[in-house]
Amino acid sequence: MTPLGTVVLYSAGHIGSATILNRLVESDEFEVVGIVKAQTVPLTQKGLQRFRKYLQKTGLRFGWMLFWQQIVQAIAYFVGRLIPGSRRIRPGWKVAEELGIPIYECENVNDDASVKFIESLGPDVLVSAYFNQILKSPVIQIPNRGVLNVHPGWLPRYRGAMAYFWVLRNGEERGGVSVHWIDEGIDTGPILARRQFRLSRGITQQRVLVTTAVIGARLLTRVARQLIKSNELASLTQESLEPAAYFPMPSGQDFQVYSTMRRFFRIRDVFAYLIKNRPRKLIHSAC
């Protein structure tokens, strides 16, 4: 079986993105030939303006919670590196360093430099692993087979950002994961695989996110195996399924409603996953 030459579109600091990347480099179905990392907000005037707009959208309380979650994850990554023999999740830069995979940091994946970098690798597929930028036609057309996206929600009912937040905010009993082809819409491409899972009473958005990433990696592997065997895959157009709904980035008010019902994340869960890497235990409580 010849693996698919793959460029992973990666979001730094995103635990779901890191999970997918780590799973792909260990799989027989994918050969990761490059990583495109979304640039973090730079400490420039332009970067600070972007950050202020972000806080205006999220509100200070929600913005701080997201920032605190990033700090906890960074500490867990660091502690994990100090523990010998730990089968841990590695951040993207560490994966690239250890395996000699070329990595490119971009502010906009659709700019000429990013397009040239991806083209130079000649990938069979791109895999969008919780990537936080919208792809345009020049990028979508690069890979020989297409662009696969792991979406942390049940499509087409949960399109948009942070579906793992919205299913809890909306009081759903089940979450979902979908793998689909990317087109020029937002989460609108043909669906190749999807799966639902039960949301337990005490589950947080962080644990839902981890669950979607682990399940999403398994679905990706199944899709890749079929893609290697055949040039054409059975898919479902979203228009043929249940009604679609789009959910934007949550606002501060959405977070206030959520926080009356659920914890946002637990520090012990972050450390348990990033250091001990126990996804089965986390999933078991959600399924």
pLDDT tens digits, one per residue of 110-161: 999 999 999 999 999 999 999 999 999 999 999 999 999 999 999 999 999 8
List beta partners, residue 193: 179
| Reported confidence tier of residue 82, pLDDT bands at 50, 70, 90 | confident
Residues 207, 198, 128: CA angle, nearest 5 degrees: 55
> What pLDDT is recorded for position 232?
76
Residue among 152, 157, 128 nearest 142 (CA): 128
- Helix or strand or coil: residue 29? coil
86 or 246, which is more confident: 246
Evaluate if residue 40 carries a pLDDT over 90.
no
227 or 87, which is more confident: 227
Q: Please give the model's pTM, rounded to 2 decimal places.
A: 0.90
- What are the angstrom distances between the C-alpha of 213 and each of 68, 179, 193, 232? 21, 11, 14, 25
> What pLDDT is recorded for position 189?
95
DSSP state of 49: H
pLDDT tens digits, one per residue of 247-285: 999 999 999 999 999 999 999 999 989 887 544 444 433
> What pLDDT is recorded for position 64?
87
> What pLDDT is recorded for position 231?
72
DSSP state of 202: T
Those residues whose C-beta lies under 8 Å from the C-beta of residue 112, and which sit 6 or more positions away, are: none
Those residues whose C-beta lies under 8 Å from the C-beta of residue 250, and which sit 6 or more positions away, are: 58, 62, 161, 162, 165, 166, 169, 258
Q: Is the peptide bond before 243 cis (omega within 30 degrees of 0)?
A: no
Of 39-48, 60-69, 200-209, where does mean pLDDT reach its minimum?
39-48
What phi and psi, each to the nearest 5 degrees, are found at residue 216?
Answer: -60, -40
**What residue ranges do the domains of the chain occupy?**
4-284
CATH topology of domain 4-284: Rossmann fold (3.40.50)
Do 108 and 114 contact (CB within 8 A), yes or no? yes
